[in-house]
Amino acid sequence: MKKNITVLPGDGIGLEVVQSAVEVLETIGTIYGHDFAFDYADIGGSAIDKHNDPLPASTIKACKAGDAVLLGAVGGPKWDQLSGDMRPEKGLLRIRKELDLFANLRPVIGFDSLSDSSTLRKEVITGIDLMIVRELTGGLYFGEPRERREENGETIAVDTLIYSRSEIERIIRKGFELAQVRSRRVTSVDKANVLETSRLWREIAEEISTEYPDVALEHMLVDNAAMQLIRDPQYFDVIVTENLFGDILSDEASMLTGSLGMLPSASMSAEGPGLYEPVHGSAPDIAGQDKANPLAAISSASMMLKYAFGLSEEALAVDKAIDQVLNEGFRTGDIAREGEAVKTTSEITQKVIETL
C-alpha cells in the first residue's frame, strides 16, 4: 500500500514525539511491505518564526494533498506574548476547520502495568477500553451570537448553543460505525431534560440507531455520565456527545489511566484526510531533553494505520508492542514510579521498534 503522510511536528516535544511516531511507521512499512512517504510542513510557533503565520497556505495545501496528517503539538513560552490570529494554537484551530474535522476520537485504555500510577483502584482501571467521540466543529464553541453587551446598566455575556440536524447526524453515525467494530454499544450523552439541542440530539440518535440494528443505543445525561466514568469506567464502550460535553468528559476520562503522555487522538472528516495527534501539549518544561513519553504519538500513529488506512493488523501490532514495552518495565519519567529506572524518548522508541 502506498500512502502519503503529512507530518506537522509543531513545537516543543512535538518535534521529538513525532519523530518517534515516524520511525515506528517506517518500521511497520518495512515489515508489512507498505510504502509510506512523509511530507513535512510547519505549524504553530515554528511556522510563525519561518512564515509569520501559524498556519501558512503551504501547510494547508500539503495536508489536503496527503492521505493523513500526523501532528505533534504547538505553542511554547517563546510565543506567549503573541495574541489573536498570531497565537500558535490558532494554527491548530484553523487546520481543524480547513480539513472539516468534525469528529474527535479519544480512546481511553487501562494498561495493567500502569494501574499503580492512577488515582483509581486497580480493579477499576484494569480493563478500561472506551472511546469518546466528540463533535468538534459545532455547538456552543462556535454558535452566534457570542458577545458582551450592556443592558439596563448590567453587563451581559452571551454564547449560543446551536446544532443542525446534519451536524448531529454525521457525528452520531460516526459513533455507531465505531461501535460496530468494537463492543456494539453506544452511549449517547446529552442534557435532554434541560436543553432543546439535546432533545433534537436524542431524537436523531434514536432515528439513526434503526440503521444499526446490531448496535445497542442508550442515552445518558451528562451529569450522570461524568459520575459513571469515575464509578465504573469499564461499563462504557463508545460515548458519543456534543462539543462542550465531549471536551469535559474526555479530559475527565483521560485522567482515569495515568499519564497524558499515553493518550492518542484522531480527528476525522467525512472524506478528506484525518488528523492524528497525541492529546498532550508541547510540554516546554521538558522540550529538547529527550525526556518526553513518545507512546501517545506512537499510539496516534496506530490510530492512523487503523482508521485512515484500514490497516487493523498493523495497528494491533503497534498496540501490542506498546503494551509489551510497558510490561517489560520501560518507562519515561512521567509514568515511572519511585525507584524505577527512567528511559529516554529515544530508548523507548528503539524498544518499540525492536519489539515490532
Which residue ranges make up the annotated binding site? 76-89, 96, 106, 134, 223, 247, 251, 281-293
Q: Is 141 a catalytic residue?
A: yes
Q: Nearest Cα to 245, choosing from 181, 211, 194?
A: 194
Rounded distance between C-alpha atoms, residue 350 and residue 356, angstroms: 10
Q: How many CB atoms lie within 10 A of CB 303?
A: 23
Which residue among the candidates 49, 112, 116, 223 is catalytic per the annotation? 223
Choose the binding region for Mg ion from 106-114, 115-123, 195-203, 276-284 (rule: CB under 5 A).
276-284
**Cβ closest to ligand ATP, residue 88 vs residue 233:** 88
Q: How many CA atoms lie within 13 A of 176 on its CB side?
A: 21
Cell of 235: 461499563
**Cβ closest to Mg ion, residue 241 vs residue 254:** 254
**Cβ closest to ligand ATP, residue 100 vs residue 290:** 290
Judged by CB under 6 A, does residue 9 bind ligand ATP? no
Rounded distance between C-alpha atoms, residue 217 and residue 193, angstroms: 18
Choose the binding region for ligand ATP from 78-86, 178-186, 237-245, 283-291 (rule: CB under 6 A).
283-291
Which residue among the candidates 129, 141, 319, 323 is catalytic per the annotation? 141
Rounded distance between C-alpha atoms, residue 129 and residue 68, angstroms: 25
Q: Is 174 a catalytic residue?
A: no
Q: Is 159 a catalytic residue?
A: no
Q: Nearest Cα to 38, choosing from 12, 71, 14, 11?
A: 71
Pseudo-torsion of CA 174, 108, 201, 277, nearest 10°?
-60
Q: How far is the CB of 294 from ligand ATP (least distance, A)?
A: 7
Judged by CB under 6 A, does residue 75 bind ligand ATP? yes
State the sign of the Cα–Cα–Cα–Cα dihedral 94, 97, 98, 101: positive
The amino acid at residue 232 is D
Choose the binding region for ligand ATP from 20-28, 168-176, 284-292, 318-326 (rule: CB under 6 A).
284-292
Size of the site for ligand ATP (CB under 6 A): 17
**Cβ closest to ligand ATP, residue 13 vs residue 240:** 13
Cell of 188: 449517547
Which of residues 112, 196, 218, 285 is near ligand ATP by CB under 6 A?
Answer: 285
Residue nearest to Mg ion (CB): 281
Q: Which does 249 bind (CB under 5 to 8 A by kind): ligand ATP, Mg ion, none?
A: none
CB 261 within 8 A of CB 14: no
First CA to last CA distance, the chain: 19
- Chain residues that interact with ligand ATP, rule: CB under 6 A: 13, 17, 73, 75, 260-261, 280-283, 285-286, 292-293, 296, 332, 334
- What residues are annotated to the active site? 141, 191, 223, 247, 251
